[in-house]
Structure 1
Amino acid sequence: MLKVVIVTDGPYGDRAFETMNEMFNTAFIELEQPSSMFLDEINVPEGDLKLLENANILITYTTHPDLTLELVENLHSKVDWMIVAAWKGDGFKNQLESHGNVTCPYIMCELEENGNPIFDEFVSKVGKPKIDLKLDGNKLKDVRVLRSSPCGSTAFVAEYIKEKYLNQTLTEELPVEAGLKLQHYPCRSSKIRLFSDDECKKTMASGFHKDAFEEAIAFANRSLENREIKM
């Protein structure tokens, strides 16, 4: 099982831990946020350092740039992949991603496969939302989350759709409704990225969930048509 470690210096990352801990061997590490803006050295407790070094996937929700940079520069060569959830500025992003096995997504629910086996195994379950719908004719029988956004919003939306449409005929408005429902989930991503636009983030997340349900409906309908043809 993949070893995933989430490290934070503030109030972010706990929801991602709850989501990922159900799928992977996941640890959550809280480091003290540095008090100054510029540091010559950052010390990590030995026990925490061992967990960080043994991770397959290391995810940083650290908002202090010096701490993030220190973690990336010292640990990128010891883990399979690093995901930097909190970063500011394209220059900083480019500096971090120059290591090759580091990615700085604009929003965590945009993560998809990149060809690296370890990373792809991780994002097969966590990242850009992916849904499976079970139909009986054109009536909804079940909703399954195949890939969840790290914050858990996909399960939130899926449960709402299931409760409302169970045993009901699907409508063309369902994907739009799924996207709108996402707006009611208290997303924190815009607060992590101080320069970002909250509405832009929510629009992106809504769009991802709308697309996920559109694709799920199309796939379910194709499967149903194929079964009817065989019969």
Structure 2
Amino acid sequence: MKVVIVTDGTYGERAHETISKEFESEYIAMEPPSSMFMDNVEIPEETLKQLESADILVTYVLHPDLTLELVERLHDKVGWIIVGAWRGEGFKNQVESFGNVTCPENMCDLEENGNPIFDEFVSNFGKPVVEIECKDGKVTDVQVLRTSPCGSTFFVADEMIGKNLEGLPVLAGLRIQHYPCRAPKMRLFTDDECKKEMAANFHKDAFEEAIKRAEKSKKLRMKN
């Protein structure tokens, strides 16, 4: 699978670094438009060829006209498009109407949707999933089964080793605040704190579920 990440700013570098550890990944930085209003959107042919090579296209393009142009020209050339930067429900509905386009509220809330190409990507990147090992009420190891595209789940996982199980999910949610998450920057006219809280809750939930599975596994071993 090939994942192409396109941006017109500084966003997407961490996602490229994280995703490239699992899939072939290419990072393309386009020139940012000089105006918020564009009559004609020019995309170099060489850039289009690079973008068309994607199975998954992830856009961190902030300019709405450029984003729309990319979706219109590429939706039938690639497997799936994930629009990581967008504004307004009207815009979201417009681009998602192409069928193979997703505008997530947050890049770390991606989950499988039944499309094989999208699901292959999301089996590795999206809503955090972790497994924990523990001994004497402390975390001895954390395995990241699915990380947020920016890699923050690995950051939190490392921070949780050696911590007490009691209060661990809340601590995981708090620690994500120390990772330089850019999710709030991806959406204009939204509540930054709400976005941070969303990312925190996803990681809190991931560790809550991991503890439940670990406790269930321990009980089964004790029965046997």
| Aligned 1:93-104 pairs, distance under 5 A | 93-104=92-103
Per the alignment, residue 66 of structure 1 pairs with 65
Any idea what SS the aligned residue of 1:183 has? helix
Deviation at 1:227, TM superposition (A): 1.6
Query: 1:33 and 2:27 equivalent?
Result: no
| Aligned 1:52-63 pairs, distance under 5 A | 52-63=51-62
Deviation at 1:139, TM superposition (A): 4.3
1:113-172 Cα offsets, whole Å, 9 max, x none, are 11111111101110001101123465433111111111111111110001x33xxxx432
Per the alignment, residue 77 of structure 2 pairs with 78
The residue type equivalent to 1:125 in the other structure is N
Equivalent residues of 2:142, 2:157 under 8 A apart:
yes
Deviation at 1:38, TM superposition (A): 2.6
Q: How does the TM-score come out when normalised to structure 1?
A: 0.93
| Aligned 1:65-214 pairs, distance under 5 A | 65-136=64-135, 138-162=137-161, 164-165=162-163, 170-214=164-208
Equivalent residues of 2:137, 2:165 under 8 A apart:
no
1:191-211 Cα offsets, whole Å, 9 max, x none, are 121111111011111000000
* Count of residue pairs the alignment pairs up: 224
| Structure 1: runs of 5 or more not aligned | none
Per the alignment, residue 217 of structure 2 pairs with 223
Equivalent residues of 1:137, 1:224 under 8 A apart:
no
Q: How does the TM-score come out when normalised to structure 2?
A: 0.96
Deviation at 1:47, TM superposition (A): 2.8
Percentage of pairs with the same residue: 62
The residue type equivalent to 1:92 in the other structure is F
| Structure 2: runs of 5 or more not aligned | none
Between the aligned partners of 2:76 and 2:39, the Cα distance in structure 1 is 21
The residue type equivalent to 2:176 in the other structure is L
Any idea what SS the aligned residue of 2:36 has? coil
1:63-96 Cα offsets, whole Å, 9 max, x none, are 0111000000000011110000111110000000
Between the aligned partners of 2:179 and 2:130, the Cα distance in structure 1 is 18
The residue type equivalent to 1:146 in the other structure is L
Between the aligned partners of 1:130 and 1:199, the Cα distance in structure 2 is 23
Deviation at 1:46, TM superposition (A): 2.8
The residue type equivalent to 1:215 in the other structure is E
